[in-house]
Amino acid sequence: MPSITTEDLFQQKIDSEIKIEPKDWMPEAYRKTNVRQISQHAHSEIVGMLPEGNWISRAPSLKRKAILLAKVQDEAGHGLYLYCAAETLGMSREEMINDLHSGKAKYSSIFNYPTLTWADMGAIGWLVDGAAILNQVMLCRTSYGPYARAMVRICKEESFHQRQGFESLLILSRGTPEQKAMCQDAINRWWWPSLMMFGPKDSESTNSDQSMKWKIKRKTNDELRQNFVDMCVEQIKILGMKLPDPSLKWNEKTGHYDFGEIDWNEFWNVVKGNGPCNKQRLDARKKAWNEGEWVRKAAAAYAEKKTGKQKAA
């Protein structure tokens, strides 16, 4: 009888949809992939607050300001759920943050684009959160338990993000000619970067599908991207706006919309750190971390003093 390895047993668990929990045995590469992916995801939520934070003080009404604040606060929460999920794999919070600041860990490139007008808040909610939701709904069934549970929590909160964005665009789309133009302009600028969020084409990667086999990922980039395009083509009709792609066309044979070629040069450029805001985003994160240092120290000192008093009493 061929002997069954721990690795085989692990794969059997995955195949029968049994979740992997922190203390369970796992291959080192599984741990590493999860740490990388979950911490990148956490960083994306945190850095993702910056482009939107830019507009909190300039929201056009108190209502919109309250909504935007609530959304940005949710993103902070998402980052925290995810950092904790990554920590269950043994990496310290501080190391993750150091890796973000040193550039060793990445975050989603979409947040390296600037938010130029108020309409960008709508476009981000509709397109960027919309694209993120497709990925996150899939990840609710990912094989690592703490990651899957964090995703369930996040997905419950995300649908408000997308809806508020779409509603905000809807109002602009029914407004003055200037508002309409602003709405269309934001869609034009965010459409292609949103498609890039799904990552390179499946045909670009010739390598093995380990993440799929381990059920960390359950759908390919192209599948998710196609879902997204099909959804948006219908939704934009309600806005009475246009997606900036002349090649968009219904394909009878595939039952999906065909779309134009993505500018992959731009994609790789932004990944490599040369996007319009890469430096600005990292600088903002480092500044926040450094300026918070005295708070972290003071709180730790206060806690220590209190436990000291309790022991003395």
Partner 1 sequence: MNFIRKYYYGDIPEDKAGEMSEASKELTKTDWPLWEIFIRSKQGLDHKHAGSLHAADAQMAIENARDVYTRRMEGVSIWVVESRYIHASNPEEAGSLYEPANDKVYRHPTFYDLPDEVNHM
Question: Contact 112/276 with Cβ under 8 angstroms?
Answer: yes
Identify residues 90-149 at the interface with Fe ion (CB under 5 A): 129
| Side-chain half-sphere exposure of 215, counting CA atoms within 13 A | 18
Q: How far is the CB of 253 from partner 1 (least distance, A)?
A: 26
Euclidean distance between CA atoms 56 and 65, whole angstroms? 6
Number of residues interacting with partner 1: please give it, by CB under 8 A: 65
One of 41, 43, 161, 217 touching Fe ion (CB under 5 A): 161
Question: Minimum distance between the CB of residue 56 and partner 1, rounded to whole angstroms?
Answer: 17
Cβ atoms 74, 161 nearer than 8 A = yes
Q: Is the CB of residue 243 less than 8 Å from the CB of residue 233?
A: yes
**How far is CA 209 from its chain centroid?**
21
DSSP string covering 229-273: HHHHHHHHHHHT---S-TT-EEETTTTEEE-PPP-HHHHHHIIII
For Fe ion, give the closer residue by CB, 157 or 230: 157
Binding string, 51-90, against partner 1, x = CB under 8 A? Answer: -------------------x--xx--x--xx--x--x--x
Choices 158-166, 178-186, 233-241, 291-299; region in contact with Fe ion by CB under 5 A: 158-166
- Of 174, 249, 287, 306, the residue at the interface with partner 1 (CB under 8 A) is 306
Extended beta strands in the chain, E state: 249-251, 256-258
Binding site for partner 1 (CB under 8 A): 21, 23-25, 28-29, 32-37, 39-41, 44, 70, 73-74, 77, 80-81, 84, 87, 90-95, 98-99, 104-106, 108, 135, 139, 149-150, 153, 157, 197-200, 204-205, 207-211, 217, 220-221, 224, 271, 296, 299-300, 302-303, 306-307
